[in-house]
Amino acid sequence: MPHSDLARQLKAIGDPTRLRILGLLPRVKTCQAGYNVSQLAGELGIPQPTVSHHLKILFQADLIRCEKMCRDAYYWINEPAVEVVCDSFQAICRCDPAQSAAEDHRQSSK
């Protein structure tokens, strides 16, 4: 995964409102669905368009999934993607700089 993609996902996560949203969303697509968007807005105490905006950013970063039921839209966390983000970030921090520099050199000289 290129750093730019991972950065976009981390940036999507790096907002207090969006962290609050993630804390309210269910981890799985549940039948007795949790909050619809309006209820989410009520719970957060912020206007609905603002919530939709943040949901869009999280969705475009592939961090949440969505399903429309009747008139409502229900979102839930894309757990596998969350795991990948954490793993990818830790891989960068755990990677030996000298070794990866060597790898980059091997790749670019192919």
Partner DNA sequence: ATTTTCCATTGATATATTTCAATACATCAA
Partner DNA sequence: TTGATGTATTGAAATATATCAATGGAAAAT
Question: Are the C-beta atoms of residues 73 and 33 closer than 8 Å to each other?
Answer: no
Q: Which is nearer to DNA, 73 or 84 (CB)?
A: 73
Structure tokens at 11: 């940036």
Q: Nearer to DNA by C-beta: 24 or 47?
A: 47
Q: Residue 56: how many CA atoms within 13 Å on its side-chain side?
A: 6
Nearest approach in angstroms of CB 14 to DNA is 7
| Cα distances (angstroms) measured from residue 92 to each of 6, 50, 86 | 11, 33, 10
As a whole number of Å, the end-to-end CA separation of the chain is 19
Q: Which of 36, 89, 108, 110 binds a copy of itself (CB under 8 A)?
A: 89
In the complex, the smallest distance separating the C-beta of residue 27 from DNA, rounded to whole angstroms, is 19
Binding site for a copy of itself (CB under 8 A): 3-4, 6-16, 18-20, 22-27, 34, 77, 79, 82-83, 86, 89-90, 92-98, 100
